[in-house]
Amino acid sequence: MHSLETDPGWGPVTVIDDPGFGELAISLDMAAALMGAPVELMWCTDWQDIANMAFAPYLGQALPHLTRPWEAENRWWKLDAIHHYLDTHTQIRRFIWIDDHLDLPEEDGEPRSTHAAREFQQRGVPGFLIAPEKTVGLTKKDWDRATDWLRDP
């Protein structure tokens, strides 16, 4: 939702000048699609709780957020935060994770998404992982693939 070069599939964008983040492009169609999805939305971002300052007015509400664990078991705090959330919310059977850092390589050269998918599969909680391009953000096509995955038990 914050890249200035967004996917045209989301329709027109509103560009705002956020004091904390600078210029942000907001797609109201994307916001509506996210809020209308049959999922519990949550932030897992380096922005932590300040993401709500920029985006809550466009989403219609503030979203809960996962926090950086004090002691990380893995190299990437977000993966540990999600593991902890799954440990304490055992009713979750699958999830979607959208993060532009998922395509970054780990020390072995494999992308983070490969490690994460393997770990979640071992837990028995498959995830649909999307690594959007930083310059474009979440595309309508990626979102449609994710919602199709949700409908396919």
Task: Write the pLDDT tens digit of every residue in 104-145.
Answer: 998 889 999 999 999 999 999 999 999 999 888 899 999 999
Cα separation of 36 and 88, whole Å?
25
- For the chain, give every domain's residue range: 39-151
Residue 1 has pLDDT above 70, yes or no: no
User: Strands, DSSP E only, in the chain?
Assistant: 13-18, 22-27, 95-98, 127-130
pLDDT tens per residue across span 44-76: 998 887 889 888 999 999 999 998 877 666 678
Residue 51's alpha-carbon distances to 5, 48, 55, 136, in angstroms, are 19, 6, 6, 18
For residue 2, the model assigns a pLDDT of 52
Looking at residue 72, its pLDDT comes to 61
